[in-house]
Amino acid sequence: MKNLRSCLQSEQAYKEIREYKENIEDDTTLRYVFETVEEIMYSKQSEPIEMVLGMRFIKELMDLHYECVLDGVTKNLIFMIEEIIKRDSKKRERGKYYFSENPDQKLMILGNTLVRLSLESIFVWNLWHPHNTVINQIYLRLKESGVEFPKLHYFNAQKVKEYYMVIKESSKNGSLYRQQSSMLNEQCFDQLKKVIEKSQFNNGKLHEINEELKQIKIVNENQKVFIENFDKAYQDYLVNKQLEQFNNQIHSICLEYDEFQSYQNKNNQLCSYSTDKQSNHISRTVSYQNSQHKNNQSIEKLLQENDIIQAQIQSFEIPKTSTKNQDQYQ
Phi, psi of 177 (to 5 degrees): -60, -45
Phi, psi of 100 (to 5 degrees): -165, 150
Let me know if 57 is exposed, middle or buried by CB neighbors in 10 A (0-12, 13-18, 19+).
buried
Domain-embedded: residue 277: no
CA dist., res. 274 & res. 283, Å (int): 8
Give the pLDDT of residue 87: 86
User: Alpha carbon 324 to chain centroid distance?
Assistant: 25
Residue type, 309: I
Selection from 48-62, 127-141, 207-221, 305-319 with the highest mean pLDDT: 48-62
State the pTM of this model.
Answer: 0.56
177, containing H or E segment: helix 174-198
pLDDT tens digit string along 122-137? 999 998 988 888 999 9
Q: For residues 112 and 95, is the Cβ–Cβ distance under 8 A?
A: yes
Give the pLDDT of residue 182: 56
Selection from 40-54, 157-171, 294-308 with the highest mean pLDDT: 40-54
CA dist., res. 79 & res. 89, Å (int): 17
Domain-embedded: residue 287: no
Domain-embedded: residue 315: no
Domain-embedded: residue 78: yes
Domain-embedded: residue 57: yes
Give the pLDDT of residue 300: 42
Number of domains observed in the structure of the chain: 1
pLDDT tier, 217 (very low <50, low <70, confident <90, very high otherwise)? low
Say which residues have a Cβ less than 8 Å from residue 246's Cβ, sequence separation at least 6.
201, 206, 233, 234, 236, 237
CA dist., res. 66 & res. 76, Å (int): 15
CA dist., res. 233 & res. 226, Å (int): 11
pLDDT tier, 207 (very low <50, low <70, confident <90, very high otherwise)? confident
Domain-embedded: residue 201: no
Q: For residues 219 and 231, is the Cβ–Cβ distance under 8 A?
A: no
CA dist., res. 155 & res. 161, Å (int): 10
pLDDT tens digit string along 84-115? 999 886 656 788 888 988 889 999 999 999 99
Domain-embedded: residue 203: no
The angle subtended at Cα 162 by Cα 159 and Cα 166, nearest 5°, is: 140
Domain-embedded: residue 8: yes
Sign of the Cα torsion 217, 223, 225, 226 reads: negative
How much is the average pLDDT of 306-312?
42
Residue 162 pLDDT > 70, yes or no? yes
Q: What is the CATH number of the domain that holds 57?
A: 1.25.40
- Tell me the angle at which helices 243-269 and 277-305 cross, rounded to the nearest 10 degrees: 140
Residue 307 pLDDT > 60, yes or no? no
DSSP state of 139: H
Query: Which range of residues forms the domain containing residue 99?
Result: 1-150
The angle subtended at Cα 287 by Cα 90 and Cα 218, nearest 5°, is: 105
